[in-house]
Amino acid sequence: MSFDHSKLRWNGWGLAAHKDAVAADEAVWNWLAERLGMPSLLATPARPLEEIALPVPRLSEQDRAALTAIVGAERILEDDYARAYHARGKSYHDLLHLRAGDLSCAPDAVVCPRGGEEVGAILRFADAQGIAVVPYGGGSSVVGGVTAEKGPLRAVISLDLSGLDRLIDIDPVSQTATLEAGISGPALEKALAAKGMTLGHYPQSFEFSTLGGWISHRGAGQASSRYGRAEDWLVSVKLATPRGLLATEDFPASAAGPRLTDLVVGAEGQFGIVTEATVRVHPVPAVRDYRGFLFHDFAGGAAAIREAVQAELPVAMLRLSDAGETGFYRTFSGLGKRKGLKDWIEGRVLSMRGFDANMAAMIVGLEGDAGTVAYARQHVEAIAKRLGAMPLGTGAGKRWLAGRFHGPYLRDPLLERGVGVDTLETATSWSKLDGLYAAVKTALETSIADTAPRPGARGIVMCHISHSYRDGASLYFTHIFPRTLDGEITQWQAIKKAAGDAVAANGGTISHHHGVGEDHLPWIAAEKGALGVEVLRAIKDTLDPKGILNPGKLIPR
């Protein structure tokens, strides 16, 4: 199994044993209260699982017997912890429900197959019996992608795929690998590293997500400029559907009609369950060079990114924080530490060089052989210098790498103190990027103020460019706000709607790499068009005629 759920948080992020120093540091909370316009930030603990009554499981004895015949009794979990763990993913919205003790959508059972054939057999059973099946990899969805909805069916099982965790084959000549889809990020990279290879797909959820999840939500890792998005590195899949196995094309390229593999990337389990995937891998890079640059403002940094990607420099990552994010992390990391001579000098140097509150920090990631990295570095540095940036050296890069998966952990201590934090991401063309940035920022700030628990309370809205392309880039927003404790869900819905509408009205996609799930469903009809939605429905009706797969996600009904 890819994960030991007993060591992970069922209603929060990651390892239960993880401790954040910030949680116990009252200086942080005092500062944050002031920034949020709140008199104080009181404790808002989550309801413990022991206090929560789960719905009565709806599987019959016959259902259990049929499932037992497929996977064995020990791989059918019906205990409260397993059901609570698999009730939802890890979005802010999910955590509000879970922390409040709402387990109304706990699955009737969690079933843990060992391989593709068992998955196929389970789907045949569920299809025949009219039972919903929610594919569950790492469960790290932040868009409501794995909520155990039963839809109009009589019961729902969460299909935990983390037992499908083997490296099946590696082809070093073609630089491809075939793996079972439930393998976790760390297990996948470990298996590939033993052969000198890497997939290089490092989303922030890397430690707690799976290959199949990356494919199914059409994800992008932090270093996707080098390693590609899921749709770039994916060669083929085996898709278990209620109507049987669909093995997609297995070629480097083809003109033999539309590529079925492309239908599976981003399908969020609507058409079938990815049990196996062949992916393009790289030799483990000889050099990994991450370093920081400080630009005078966001526009200057964005111009540098655009120039670098349009020159097609072989970079792995170009990540630019706006002034808000640059300032936030600078202040946040200094909280509770005594200011010393070094800080004073740093402040003076920045000021003398003309850096003010508008300054924007960039992390440039380069990976590959020594020659390629040197070539890219020389060109990126030249662009940055010409645009007035100050190099921050590899220290900033190393700090970023060390904390690259840490972000989601910050949410739990904030939730414990009445503070909400959510993220959203979008992408658009370069020519629409400024407008989209301004509109979403304003929508978030306004909706947060409008839904705040008291007059004068406000949010912190910050943003970075996380991924870039020749024709555009993604914007990743993080917003921190004081929760309206007697209407948390309503508050979230209002903020989400304002932001999503601003995205749609300004040429952005409703998601660049998180996916659609339940949370982005309201914007899909406009984004895909009425006919486009009909096409998606037609594909689903062909492969999943009874609609047992992951009800309520992706495709508007």
How far apart CA 67 and CA 79 sit, in angstroms, is: 16
Closer CB to a copy of itself, 172 or 403, in the complex: 172
Taking residue 101's Cβ as centre, other Cβ atoms within 10 Å add up to: 16
Helix, strand, or coil here: 94? helix
CB of 219 to a copy of itself, least distance (A): 7
Half-sphere exposure of residue 391: CA atoms within 13 angstroms, side-chain side: 13
- Which of 58/432 has CB closer to a copy of itself? 432
Distant-in-sequence, close-in-space partners of 429: CB < 8 Å, separation ≥ 6: 471, 472, 507
Taking the complex as a whole, the smallest distance from the CB of residue 55 to a copy of itself amounts, in Å, to 30
Residue 220: helix, strand or coil by DSSP?
A: strand
CB of residue 147 vs a copy of itself: minimum separation in angstroms? 17
Question: Toward a copy of itself, which CB reaches closer, 42 or 286?
Answer: 286
* Smallest distance from a copy of itself to CB 486, Å: 33
Give 417 or 528: the residue with its C-beta nearer to a copy of itself.
528
467 or 483: whose CB is closer to a copy of itself? 467
Contact 425, 474 (CB under 8 A): yes
CB closer to a copy of itself, 61 vs 312: 312
Question: 16 or 535: whose CB is closer to a copy of itself?
Answer: 535
> How many angstroms separate the CA atoms of 30 and 287, rounded?
42
CB of 311 to a copy of itself, least distance (A): 7
Beta sheet of 419-429, edge-to-edge order = 390-392, 287-295, 360-368, 317-321, 460-469, 472-482, 419-429
Q: How far is the CB of 196 from a copy of itself (least distance, A)?
A: 13
The nearest distance, CB 466 to a copy of itself, in angstroms, is: 11
Report, in Å, the least distance between residue 281 CB and a copy of itself.
9
**Of 134, 112, 117, 106, whose CA–CA distance to 68 is shortest?**
112
Rg (Cα) of the chain, in Å, rounded? 23
CB atoms within 10 A of CB 501: 17
Q: Do the Cβ atoms of 258 and 400 come closer than 8 Å?
A: no
Nearer to a copy of itself, 351 or 429 (CB): 429
Asked if 553 contacts 516 with a C-beta cutoff of 8 angstroms, the reply is: yes
Determine the Cα–Cα distance for residues 160 and 22; give it in Å rounded to an integer. Answer: 33
CB-wise, 334 or 371, nearer to a copy of itself?
Answer: 371
Question: In 526-543, which positions are buried (b, 16+ CB within 10 angstroms) versus exposed (e)?
Answer: ebbeeeebeebeebbeeb
> 3-state DSSP helix/strand/coil percent for the chain, to nearest 5?
40, 20, 40
CB of 86 to a copy of itself, least distance (A): 23
* CA separation for the pair 456, 471 (Å, rounded): 40
